[in-house]
Each structure stands twice: as structure tokens, then as C-alpha cells.
Amino acid sequence: MIDKTKLKIYENPEEDDFFDVFYKHNNVKIMGEISTKKPQYFHLISFTSQENKNKERAKKGLANYYLCGVLKELIKMKKYGLKLTSDFRLEAGDLGGDIKHDQGKLENYYKSLGFKKGKQVDDPETGQPFKQSISSFLKNCEKFKENPLESK
């Protein structure tokens, strides 16, 4: 499903509470973190199908395909404590870098993937929090079970 050699997980020396997760392949970039405190959860920090405005966008559906694969792989790696019942969290806010986005469209996109809005925070840098269980998100992955690079 994913190229496991591209999946990197690091202990964060500055924050003992998280493992940093990186996956970068075919212009898709996924950055997240796994909490080390119970209950463990996966927090998606950055998820893009265009690394920067000078590079081509990844093929439609490829970023979702890889994100599903990364989550499945993290669940298999039992040493990080993620389970199907663990939360999958993200914020619809500033994505950073030079990638532009429409806040409303981003929130609607996350809702279409099954995320529910959390309590609003007054921090423009973190944005609107969303969450769902990993198992709920993985059910949504049925749409992305075919690798777009291999489809006709």
C-alpha cells in the first residue's frame, strides 16, 4: 500500500509527549505526531498533495491513499500504542508554507472525510479542531483502496 521505507518515526527530544511521523512520496507530504501518553492518538499536522507551489500536484486521490496506508501501518506497529479506537485529530487552520487554501473548503473537506468539529479555539494558528476515531476514518478509506498511480 505505501512504501514503508518512506515512513519515518522519530522521538521528539523537545517534546517527550509525542513521536513525530513523516511520510513524503510522489509530491505527497504527511506530517503528524503520536501521543505517548494514554490514551494515545494520532494528530495530523500537515497533509498536502503539493509540496510547494513550484512542484506538480500529486495525482487526484493519491494523498488520501497514502494517508490511509500510513494510518494502517501505524496501527500494525504496536509499539506506538495506536489502536483502531484511538482518536485521529487535526485542525483546519494555517497549513504553513506557500500553499494557499480556503478555510471553508478545508473544513467541508474534513467533514466529507467523517471528521466532526470539536470545541472552537481562539487561536488563529491552530484553527478549528476536528476529530474522529481511526477506525471511522479507515472505513472512509474504502474510497481510496486503489493506488491512483496504478489505475487506468
Instruction: Report pLDDT digits (tens) over 20-34.
Output: 999 999 989 999 999
Q: 106-148 pLDDT, tens per residue?
A: 888 888 888 998 876 655 555 678 999 999 999 988 877 777 8
* Mean pLDDT within 55-72: 88
* 29: β partners: 24, 48
**Cα separation, 73 vs 83, whole angstroms:** 11
User: Please, are residues 133 and 85 in contact by the beta-carbon 8 Å criterion?
Assistant: yes
User: Please, are residues 80 and 43 in contact by the beta-carbon 8 Å criterion?
Assistant: no
pLDDT for the residue 58: 82
Ordered by where they begin, the domains of the chain are: 4-144 (3.40.630.30)
